[in-house]
Amino acid sequence: MVRLGIALLWGCALFAQPAAAETYPDHAIRLISPNPAGGANDTIVRIIAAKMSSILGVSIVVDNRGGAGGRIGAEAVARAVPDGYTLLAGSVGTHAFAPAVSKQLGYDPIKDFEPISLFAMVQNLLVVNPKLPVRSVAELIAYAKANPGKLNYASGGPGSTSHFAVAMFVALAGIDKITVHVPFRGGGPAMTATVAGDTQFFFSPIAGMVPFAQAGSVRALAVSGDRRSQALPDVPTMAEAGMPQYKAVGWFGLMAPAATPSAIIEKLSNTVGDASKSPDVMAALNAQGISPANNRPKEFAAFIQEQLDLHRQLTKDVDMKISE
């Protein structure tokens, strides 16, 4: 009788998954963006969320949970009910950099999530306050060395995407001991501080930073990818600027809590694919210097593991230390 009961329960579970996918979603979805509004992650998330909402026919409410480099938001999703109604806009920060350097992570980047799909790849952009008398990466490094202790650099918080980008830069440039890290609760506040001159330079995903650079509120020195950005074609790559060893390209993807039904994961993956390929989304992301992306759940899972391994090695190579 016990075996029969288990078999019946298992059969019901298998039947319930397709049924759940057929009716899913039947009410609003909460998408946690683990950064304050206005940052790079949030800019990308809102573009994708709006299109997915249109495709699925329900509201997707973006819930900003900033702080701790994205870890607060990621932990909230890891602990959420796995029913497809609480999702995470994960990133290289939450699932590669923070796990590679943090000893106090409140979630497991592999075991606590169901990968759904990538939705964007993005270069990082190095900017300085326009009052700083430097116009190139080489000049910034030289100025820092000539003025030890006088330059502050911003980040979206310890373990964030922007922290990895700038920490890797100062380490490779040999100015990590003579510049001061000033962490904020997200990329938006960090950019505001750099525009105001409270911090002198910032290295973060290009999304959301393009308008500031185009308006002259900050001076763009270099992008981190292999090619120049279409949004800022006059800005050189880090390799062109004399640092070919620099590697820090961002990515963003949709994730759900572990144990979310596979049929729901599949439906969401298909939706991300349709959204990222739509002309209006492609145009909106390209205008920000972002490349739309999508892949299948298994491919995304393999990608996350590769990124985690890569960032563990990179942080080890430059002996990067992140204060909690």
Domain 124-223 is found in CATH 3.40.640.10:
no
Do 2-121+249-317 and 124-223 come out as alike in CATH topology?
yes
Show me where the domains of the chain are located: 2-121+249-317, 124-223
How far is Cα 127 from Cα 143, in angstroms, rounded to an integer? 14
Q: Which residues of the chain have a pLDDT value below 70?
A: 1-21, 39-40, 159, 318-324
Alpha carbons 144 and 278: distance in angstroms, whole number = 44
The string of pLDDT tens digits covering residues 159-200 is: 677 888 898 899 899 999 999 999 998 888 999 999 999 999
Token pair of 47 as six digits: 């573009």
How far is 73 from 88, CA to CA, in rounded Å? 8
**Cβ neighbours around 160 below 10 Å, total:** 38
On the CB side of 142, CA atoms within 13 Å amount to: 8
In the CATH scheme, what architecture does the domain 2-121+249-317 have?
3-Layer(aba) Sandwich (3.40)
Q: How far apart are CA 119 and CA 31, in angstroms?
A: 14
- Gap between the Cα atoms of 104 and 271, Å rounded: 34
What is the structure's pLDDT at 324?
42
The model carries a pTM of 0.77
Q: What confidence score (pLDDT) does residue 76 get? A: 97
Residue type, 318: V
pLDDT value of residue 264 = 98
Torsion angle defined by CA atoms of residues 181, 182, 188 and 194, in that order, rounded to the nearest 10 degrees: -80
How far is residue 74 CA from its own chain's centroid? Answer: 11
pLDDT at residue 6, as a whole number: 47
What Rg, from alpha-carbon coordinates, does the chain have? 21
CA 283-286-290 angle, 5° bins: 140
> Cβ distance 98 to 240 under 8 Å?
no
Task: Give Cα 238 to chain centroid, integer Å.
Answer: 20
Res 125: pLDDT: 94
pLDDT of residue 226: 85
Nearest to 39 by CA among 107, 102, 89: 89
| 124-169: pLDDT as tens digits | 999 999 999 999 999 999 999 999 999 999 998 876 778 888 988 9
Secondary structure (DSSP) of 2-21? HHHHHHHHHHHHHHHHHHHH
